[in-house]
Every structure is written in C-alpha cells, then in structure tokens.
C-alpha cells in the first residue's frame, strides 16, 4: 500500500514537473519589437508596459528585500528593478554564488511581479565600488583611470583587458544561471552596469589610453558621426577637436560595456540597456569635473554621445535616461532627446514627486517602462523623520503621486501597451503655460485642458499635476483617462478637408468647427465609466447631464471612460 502511494506520488510529481516545463517552455523570451517606428517590450508574446519602481541600492539583500514589498504593493507596480552585486556573486575569482539572485526570483514570484535586474559591476555611478574585493586589492591588474595630472581617479579604467575579461566572465555566468533559473521569465530585462562613466576626469590619461587616443579613430565611428576628417587615419584630436577627450571616453566605456552585454546575450538573449547619469541638455557644463557648475559624468550615454554608444555597443537595446531633472522644461527635453529612431523609450530611474505626472508624457512617447527610484527607502526614512515632525502624517504621502499613475493604468496595462504599440494612444502631462493641448486623432481632435472651470477652457491647475490619455478604439470611439483635467472632442474634418478647407474652431458650449462653411458640433452619443476586466471593457455607469455638459472632468479618482462621439 505504502509503496503504491509512493509510486503514485512520484508519478504525480513527475507529471507536475512535466506540466510546469511544458507550460514554461512555451514562454517566449522577452524581446523588444519595432513596428512602424514604434517600440514595445513583448512579454508572453504581447506588448507590455513596465509600471516599475527601483529599490534603493542596498535593498536587494535578502533580509532587506523583504522590507521593500509594502511600498511596492502600495505603488501597485508590475515590475521591480533590483540590483545584483558582482562583489556578492563572485566573492573569490571563479567561485560564483547566485543564491541572492535566486532569492530575488522567489520573492518576485511570490509577489507576482516581474524584475529588471541591474548588474552593478565594473561601474556603479562612475566608480568601481561593486567590484569584488579581490579585484579592488589588485590595482595593477584591475586599474583605476588616471587623470590628466597623473593621479588615480575613483573610476575603473575602460582600457583594462583584465577587468573586461573578468566582467564578461562573471556576467556570462550570471546570465547562464538566469537562463536556467528563470524559465518563467520573471526577469524581463537587464541593466548592464550602472551610470557608467567617470567623475574626476574627462577621460583616462593612462599610457595605454593615451596610445589609443593618439591612434586613428575607428572608421565606423567616423562614419556614424558623419565626420569628414582630413585623412582616414585622423586621430581623436584631429577628428573631434574640443570634444575629443569626451568622445574618446564615451567610445572606450561603451565598447567595454557593449562587449560585456554581447557576452551575456550569447548565454541568454534578454533585452539589455545602459542607463545615463545625465548632463543638463540645455546648459551643460564640463564633462567629468565635479564641482564645476553643470558638470557631469564623462563617458556615459549622455545625450551628446548617443551615436557613439549606438555604434560602439550594438548589443544594448536601449540607452535610457535617469531623469531626475527638477526643472520641467529640462525634464521634458531629456525625454525628447532619448526618444529617437533606433532607441526605445525607457525611464529606468526618476524622482521628485512633481515629476510623477511625466509618466504620462513618457507614455505619449511609447515608453516601454517608467520607474521612480528608491521609494522603499524614502518610505522608511520618511516615516522615521515624519514621525518626529508629525506622527499623523501618513508615510504613503510620499508614494501617492506615483501610486496614482499605476492605480489608474494598472487594471488596463496590457490594453494600454497594445494601443500604444499600434499607434492609437496619445498622452500628456500638464506643463506650466500650456493649459490646453490638442491631440489629433484623424477626424477628431481631443482637447485636453487643465484647471478648467465650468464654461472656460482652462487656465492651468494651481499646481501643474494634470495628466491625460486618450486612445482611439474606433472611428468615433475613444478610451479616456486622467487626473486633474478636462477632456473633450472637436470635429476636425476629413483628411481632404484638413488639407484644403479653412477650418475654424468654435468655442461654444460644445466644441465645434466651421468646416467648408458648415458648422459641425460635437455630441456625446454615449459616455461609459468602467474598467477593463481580462481585456474586456465592462461599463459601470453611464455619464450624462451635469457629468458631461462641460466636457469630461477628471479629478483625483482613477476613472476610465469609453466615449462615443458624433456631430450634429
Ligand atoms: C542614480 C543611480 O543610478 C542610483 O543607483 C542611485 O545612486 C541614484 N542615482 C540616487 O541615489
């Protein structure tokens, strides 16, 4: 009897594993797909939008990681970015310990979220602080950069063949392990290094680096940069003049990281990206010189060297900005610069509660993900300091501006990702001085206004917190959602009329347009408030009367509308 049940249990277990494998085997590896100039991250074969958050630098340790989840749950993220530390993974040369990776995988699965893992290795914020101790102690084999004055800099040399080999070997071992350990595809993407580049010197001035600097620029880079150098063997100085030092550093760092990424991808081809410590794109200071106004890290994928990075590191799918800019104009300029052909939009780090609304701007640029940084830490630190100042102030206050975004988008995340990939979606966030925005959708314009009172078109909210998205579901049907805004629709004529006829916009109670001498006025046929459930929109109630007489108003509640319009 006992033997029979043991056999049955074994058979059941074998079948369960086989079933799991069959199920798991079907899961495609996440990949970035391009269509009609737009990008999407495909997960389980369909577009996916990473509603992310990045934990603080030391929060991946198992004991610490357990504390990040309350904040992640409050935020309603679907993806958590967590670092993995080279010093922890390879404590002795060639001895790998992936227990930490496994514990992150288990925790993420338990909390039903995906992961983006951050390979903190040769570079972390421009330094080599996460290199294993045995490397840090061997400065000859694994050298630092050398500054112009001959002094060592707190940054790894991108010209060290031994460091490159060690990083490639460790990264390949990590990716090989991940491939084995994650048939479920819990991990969606890998960040290779972190904010690579250097503070303290514009480039490496070591003898090895100087030799390369005085040698001809690689021809593929001259082509990519469209430099017509006097000779095909132009040196860096001859080809790039005042930018030579910085471009050389960018090339050297990108070549190094590109090779690490390629080695890892050969083991397991997950999408990979590098993140940038930005320069101020409007008023940049000098590269690599801390202390100077506007100074920035030299050699990372800053906006001025994206072409260099694309040429030097083709294994990277994305060059992504860590957008912490305080000034909204600068913040948006960054998005604009990284939203370019050949580079999917992704914001792996951002901060500042006032910037939370720019999730919508990023959505409008088909971002594959958005991820505020360090909220688990803020959550705890804030609760500590706040408890002294005001014990009644809820600690969630710090999470709320970000949580609002995901609370609204989360239930329809796959539909939003698909509509965006299909080019059906537009989204905007409020900008000071732009209280009204027009989003063209063929024969309709969606008009978004911020701070609109009854019969006026909006003067801006007291704090610019408005956000709106509109997606076209059919010729005359739209999905509309947002916060602190009003959305309405105005007839925009046919394509032919837009080319040939003078269209005059009316400002009557209902948005109207004089098209080919005939007034066309918007009427709402049906405005349904509802929610997506398994990909199907389920109406909850119909808006009419006061709810629609002045347009569709959104406050601080997560509201989704399906709107059918017509003219009269
Ligand atoms: C950007 C880095 O990439 C993060 O790891 C972290 O250091 C944040 N800056 C700010 O703390």
Q: Look at residue 319 and give its three-state secondary structure.
A: strand
Name which residue sits closest to atom 8 of ligand 1, judged by CA.
373
Q: Residue 15: pLDDT band by 50, 70, 90 thresholds? A: very low
- Whole-angstrom CA distances from 359 to 51, 190, 219, 366, 533 are 10, 21, 39, 11, 23
Tell me what the mean pLDDT of segment 315-328 comes to: 98
Cβ atoms of residues 389 and 89 within 8 Å: no
81 Cβ closer than 6 Å to some ligand 1 atom: no
Rg (CA), the chain: 26
Q: Look at residue 534 and give its three-state secondary structure.
A: coil
**Cα(96)–Cα(202) distance, integer angstroms:** 34
Tell me what the mean pLDDT of segment 201-208 comes to: 97
Kindly give, in sequence order, each residue whose CB lies less than 8 Å from that of residue 441, ignoring residues fewer than 6 positions away. 426, 470, 472, 478, 492
Helix boundaries (H) for 394-503: 400-409, 413-421, 495-500
pLDDT higher than 90, residue 481: yes
**Cα(373)–Cα(296) distance, integer angstroms:** 20
349 Cβ closer than 6 Å to some ligand 1 atom: yes
373 Cβ closer than 6 Å to some ligand 1 atom: yes
Specify the pLDDT at position 337. 98
* Atom from ligand 1 closest to the CA of residue 374: 11
Residue 31 is inside which H or E element, if any? strand 31-35
480 CA → ligand 1 middle, Å: 35
Name which residue sits closest to atom 5 of ligand 1, judged by CA.
57
**Cα(514)–Cα(102) distance, integer angstroms:** 64
pLDDT higher than 60, residue 12: no
322 Cβ closer than 6 Å to some ligand 1 atom: yes
Cα dihedral 526, 527, 529, 532 sign: positive
**Cα(187)–Cα(115) distance, integer angstroms:** 5
195 Cβ closer than 6 Å to some ligand 1 atom: yes
Task: For residue 291, give both structure tokens.
Answer: 């202390």
Q: Which of 126, 346, 349 to mutate to test the pocket of ligand 1 (most atoms within 8 A of CB)?
A: 349
Kindly give, in sequence order, each residue whose CB lies less than 8 Å from that of residue 175, ignoring residues fewer than 6 positions away. 190, 264, 265, 267, 268, 270
67 CA → ligand 1 middle, Å: 19
Burial status of residue 86 (CB atoms within 10 A of its CB: 0-12, 13-18, 19 or more) = buried
Which one, of 50, 56, 83, 84, lies nearest residue 68 by Cα? 56
- Whole-angstrom CA distances from 276 to 123, 193, 306, 350, 516 are 12, 10, 10, 11, 50
197 CA → ligand 1 middle, Å: 13
* Atom from ligand 1 closest to the CA of residue 195: 3
Q: Which of 82, 85, 194, 377 to mutate to test the pocket of ligand 1 (most atoms within 8 A of CB)?
A: 194
Which one, of 200, 323, 203, lies nearest residue 253 by Cα? 203
518-553, pLDDT tens digit by residue? Answer: 889 999 999 999 999 988 999 999 999 999 999 999
Kindly give, in sequence order, each residue whose CB lies less than 8 Å from that of residue 49, ignoring residues fewer than 6 positions away. 41, 78, 363, 367, 368, 369, 409, 413, 414, 416, 417, 420
62-93, pLDDT tens digit by residue? Answer: 887 788 999 999 999 999 999 999 999 999 99
**Cα(531)–Cα(540) distance, integer angstroms:** 8
462 CA → ligand 1 middle, Å: 31
149-190, pLDDT tens digit by residue? Answer: 999 999 999 999 999 999 999 999 999 999 999 999 999 999
322 CA → ligand 1 middle, Å: 8
Neighbours of 285 (CB within 10 A): 13
Q: Look at residue 182 and give its three-state secondary structure.
A: coil
**Cα(497)–Cα(492) distance, integer angstroms:** 9
Q: Look at residue 142 and give its three-state secondary structure.
A: coil
54 Cβ closer than 6 Å to some ligand 1 atom: no
* Atom from ligand 1 closest to the CA of residue 57: 5
175 CA → ligand 1 middle, Å: 23
194 Cβ closer than 6 Å to some ligand 1 atom: yes
Cβ atoms of residues 271 and 264 within 8 Å: no
Kindly give, in sequence order, each residue whose CB lies less than 8 Å from that of residue 362, ignoring residues fewer than 6 positions away. 335, 345, 347, 370
Specify the pLDDT at position 1. 36
Q: Identify the DSSP state of 434.
A: B
56 CA → ligand 1 middle, Å: 8
193 Cβ closer than 6 Å to some ligand 1 atom: no
296 CA → ligand 1 middle, Å: 14
**Cα(91)–Cα(96) distance, integer angstroms:** 7
Kindly give, in sequence order, each residue whose CB lies less than 8 Å from that of residue 64, ignoring residues fewer than 6 positions away. 58
396 CA → ligand 1 middle, Å: 22
Pairing of strands 369-372, 347-350: parallel
Kindly give, in sequence order, each residue whose CB lies less than 8 Å from that of residue 291, ignoring residues fewer than 6 positions away. none
Name which residue sits closest to atom 2 of ligand 1, judged by CA.
125
**Cα(178)–Cα(181) distance, integer angstroms:** 5
128 Cβ closer than 6 Å to some ligand 1 atom: no
Helix %, strand %, coil % of the chain (to 5): 35, 30, 35
Kindly give, in sequence order, each residue whose CB lies less than 8 Å from that of residue 239, ignoring residues fewer than 6 positions away. 217, 222, 225, 227, 229
10 CA → ligand 1 middle, Å: 49
Q: Look at residue 491 and give its three-state secondary structure.
A: strand
pLDDT higher than 60, residue 382: no
Highest mean pLDDT among 45-49, 232-236, 375-379, 455-459: 45-49
pLDDT higher than 50, residue 386: no
Which one, of 57, 62, 171, 65, lies nearest residue 124 by Cα? 57
Specify the pLDDT at position 230. 67
Q: Which of 191, 373, 381 to mutate to test the pocket of ligand 1 (most atoms within 8 A of CB)?
A: 373
Full-prediction pTM beyond 0.95? no
Indicate the range of 73-87, 342-356, 446-460 predicted with least confidence: 446-460
331 CA → ligand 1 middle, Å: 17
* Atom from ligand 1 closest to the CA of residue 118: 5
Neighbours of 107 (CB within 10 A): 20
376 CA → ligand 1 middle, Å: 13
392-427, pLDDT tens digit by residue? Answer: 666 688 899 999 999 999 999 999 999 999 999 999
125 CA → ligand 1 middle, Å: 7
214-234, pLDDT tens digit by residue? Answer: 999 999 999 999 888 667 899
57 Cβ closer than 6 Å to some ligand 1 atom: yes
Kindly give, in sequence order, each residue whose CB lies less than 8 Å from that of residue 453, ignoring residues fewer than 6 positions away. none
**Cα(343)–Cα(330) distance, integer angstroms:** 20
Task: For residue 492, give both structure tokens.
Answer: 């925009």
Specify the pLDDT at position 393. 62
Specify the pLDDT at position 7. 42
């Amino acid at each position: 009897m006992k033997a029979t049940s043991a056999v049955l249990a074994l058979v059941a277990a074998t079948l369960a594993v086989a079933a799991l494998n069959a199920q798991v085997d079907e899961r495609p590896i996440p990949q970035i797909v391009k269509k009609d100039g737009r990008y999407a991250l495909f997960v389980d074969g369909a577009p996916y939008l990473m509603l992310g958050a990045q934990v603080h630098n030391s929060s991946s340790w198992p004991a610490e990681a357990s504390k990040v989840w309350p904040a992640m749950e409050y935020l309603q993220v679907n993806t958590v970015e967590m670092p993995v530390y080279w010093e922890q993974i390879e404590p002795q040369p060639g001895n790998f310990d992936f227990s930490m990776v496994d514990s992150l995988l288990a925790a993420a699965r338990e909390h039903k979220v995906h992961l983006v893992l951050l390979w903190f290795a040769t570079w972390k914020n421009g330094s080599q602080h996460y290199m294993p101790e045995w490397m840090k102690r061997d400065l000859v084999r694994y050298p630092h950069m050398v500054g112009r004055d001959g002094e060592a800099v707190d940054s790894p040399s991108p010209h060290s063949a031994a460091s490159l080999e060690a990083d490639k070997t460790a990264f390949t071992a990590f990716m090989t392990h991940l491939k084995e350990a994650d048939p479920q595809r819990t991990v969606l993407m890998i960040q290779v290094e972190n904010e690579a580049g250097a503070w303290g010197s514009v480039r490496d001035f070591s003898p090895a680096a100087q030799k390369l600097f005085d040698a001809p620029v690689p021809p593929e880079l001259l082509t990519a940069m469209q430099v017509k150098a006097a000779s095909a063997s132009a040196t860096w100085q001859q080809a790039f003049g005042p930018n030579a030092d910085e471009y050389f550093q960018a090339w050297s760092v990108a070549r190094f990281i590109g090779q690490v990424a390629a080695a890892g991808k050969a083991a397991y081809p997950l999408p990979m990206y590098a993140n940038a410590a930005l320069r101020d794109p409007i008023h940049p200071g000098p590269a690599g010189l801390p202390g100077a106004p506007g100074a920035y890290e030299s050699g990372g994928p800053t906006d001025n060297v994206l072409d260099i990075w694309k040429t030097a590191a083709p294994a990277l799918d994305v060059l992504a900005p860590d957008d912490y800019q305080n000034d909204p104009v600068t913040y948006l300029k960054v998005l604009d610069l990284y939203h370019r052909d050949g580079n999917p939009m992704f914001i792996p780090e951002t901060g500042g509660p006032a910037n939370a609304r720019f999730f919508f701007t990023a959505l409008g640029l088909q971002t594959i993900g958005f991820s505020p940084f360090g909220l688990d830490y803020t959550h705890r630190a804030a609760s500590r300091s706040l408890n002294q100042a005001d014990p009644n102030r809820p600690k969630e206050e710090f999470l709320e501006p970000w949580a609002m975004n995901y609370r609204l988008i989360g239930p329809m995340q796959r539909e939003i990702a698909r509509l965006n990939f299909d080019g059906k979606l537009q989204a905007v966030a409020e900008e000071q001085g732009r209280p009204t925005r027009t989003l063209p959708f063929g024969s309709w314009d969606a008009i978004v206004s911020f701070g609109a009172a009854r019969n006026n078109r909006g003067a801006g909210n007291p704090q610019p917190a408005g956000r709106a998205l509109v997606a076209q579901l059919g010729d005359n049907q739209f999905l509309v959602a947002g916060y602190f805004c009003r959305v309405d629709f105005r007839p925009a004529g046919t394509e032919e009329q837009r080319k040939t006829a003078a269209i005059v916009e009316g400002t009557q109670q209902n948005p109207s347009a004089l098209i080919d001498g005939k007034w066309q006025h918007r009427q709402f046929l049906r405005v349904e408030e509802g929610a997506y459930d398994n990909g199907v929109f389920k109406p909850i109630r119909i808006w009419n009367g006061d709810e629609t007489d002045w347009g569709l108003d959104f406050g601080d509640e997560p509201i989704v509308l399906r709107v059918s319009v017509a003219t009269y």
